[in-house]
Amino acid sequence: MRVFNFSAGPAVLPLEVLEQARDELTDWHGGGMSIMEISHRSKAFIGVAAEAEADLRELLAIPSDYRVLFMQGGATAQFSALPMNLTRSDSTVDFVNTGSWSKKAIGEAKRYCRVNVAADAAASNFTTVPARESWQLTPDAAYLHYTPNETIGGVEFPFVPELGVPLVADMSSTILSRPIEVSRFGLIYAGAQKNIGPSGLCVVIVHEQLLGRARSDTPSIWDFKAVAAEGSMLNTPPTFGWYFAGLVFKWLKRQGGLAAMAERNQAKAQLLYRSIDESGFYRNPVEPSCRSWMNVPFLLPRTELEKPFLVEAGRAGLTNLEGHRSVGGMRASLYNAMPLAGVQALCDFMREFARRNG
């Protein structure tokens, strides 16, 4: 039996896609082998890889002067590789710090170059996005890095910054949740395990102008230009993850693309936030204009209610609602594959739990 899985990642995947992968697992397209058992250099796999890229390009309307890379090591490898690719040791990178993932990216960049935290949401305990007018930018920064959706804090940028330097975005927990204008970014990266597919894979969308700037001591496997030149097959890529991502992209197209996903995701999030706000029992600490559509943290009135909440939710088939260990409380992640019925079931459970414990 499937549950409603509210995990922040690895997260729920579309059942239709899981079933397709299951049906194809031992005998992919009549070849008598699984997709995992064939060479990445084979015509068959190169076809799968190219189709996945083409579908992603279509979904996000990626302009032709951007390259799409399917890399390994998750989003962490990418925010670590970024400074090697785009800075010299005397360069400055600007960051907007809106929470845990921003902080980790800042920590890695500091190993390579100067870091300027242009804006910091620490004063609000990471419940808001600092107003654009307050940012202290470096005029010749190598790039500005930000996290459009902070997965742990549930804080989302209500705007895309307009800047004179390349904009780099960690879209791990927001990519494909709605349409975006790719041309406003220098580079977008996203770990796969929320809206794309299995963990380990990371999709990178990079403007061609940012290729070829890597430091000479950058390992080839982390050099965007070298990876792009080899069609993301400089070594053996994560073939199963790439294939699975391709199935998810096709599923998204069948759903009506990203405009349709945006409508559904907004409706799901609104339903849950309304239930929280109107309950007089639960509380979401994030400034309303910066509330995430994807990750909804909420607190119970007394911490001793957390354990029974989780146990009873589990019994009702609602799983992985525990907040991140660094912040506590509860968190419901509502990625693309979470149906509205799951959110309705959660809201019903929460209402009933509040009635019994209020």
- Comparing CB distances to ligand PLP, the nearer of 161 and 191 is 191
SS (H, E, C) the chain: CCCEECCCCCCCCCHHHHHHHHHHCCCHHHCCCCHHHCCCCCHHHHHHHHHHHHHHHHHHCCCCCEEEEEEECHHHHHHHHHHHHHCCCCCEEEEEECCHHHHHHHHHHCCCCEEEEEEECHHHCCCCCCCHHHCCCCCCCCEEEECCEECCCCEECCCCCCCCCCEEEECCCCCCCCCCCHHHCCEEEEECCCCCCCCCEEEEEEEHHHCCCCCCCCCHHHCHHHHHHCCCCCCCCCHHHHHHHHHHHHHHHHCCHHHHHHHHHHHHHHHHHHHHHHHCCCECCCCHHHECCCEEEEECCCHHHHHHHHHHHHHCCEECCECCCCCCCEEEECCCCCCHHHHHHHHHHHHHHHHHHC
Near ligand PLP by CB under 6 A: residue from 98, 147, 195, 265: 147
Compute, in degrees rounded to 10, the torsion defined by CA atoms 195, 198, 201, 207.
-20
Binding mask 162-181 for ligand PLP (x = CB under 6 A): --------x-xx--------
- The active-site residue, picked from 55, 94, 120, 194, is 194
Told to check if 237 binds ligand PLP by CB under 6 A, we report no
- Comparing CB distances to ligand PLP, the nearer of 199 and 319 is 199
Residues in region 296-355 near ligand PLP by CB under 6 A = none
Binding mask 37-76 for ligand PLP (x = CB under 6 A): -------------------------------------xxx
- The active-site residue, picked from 28, 55, 101, 242, is 101
Told to check if 243 binds ligand PLP by CB under 6 A, we report no
As measured in angstroms, the least distance from the Cβ of 77 to ligand PLP is 7
Residue 194 catalytic? yes
Site size toward ligand PLP (CB under 6 A) is 12
Residues in region 178-197 near ligand PLP by CB under 6 A = 191
- Comparing CB distances to ligand PLP, the nearer of 122 and 311 is 122
- Comparing CB distances to ligand PLP, the nearer of 199 and 357 is 199
Q: Contacts for 38-42 with beta carbons within 8 Å, 24 or more apart?
A: 38/239, 40/233, 40/236, 40/237, 40/239, 41/233
Near ligand PLP by CB under 6 A: residue from 5, 6, 7, 9: 9
- Comparing CB distances to ligand PLP, the nearer of 75 and 206 is 75
Told to check if 238 binds ligand PLP by CB under 6 A, we report no
Binding mask 70-89 for ligand PLP (x = CB under 6 A): ----xxx-------------
- Comparing CB distances to ligand PLP, the nearer of 142 and 202 is 202
Told to check if 151 binds ligand PLP by CB under 6 A, we report yes
Told to check if 223 binds ligand PLP by CB under 6 A, we report no
Residue 170 catalytic? yes
User: Which residues have a catalytic role annotated?
Assistant: 101, 170, 194
What residues make contact with ligand PLP under the rule CB under 6 A? 9, 74-76, 101, 147, 151, 170, 172-173, 191, 199
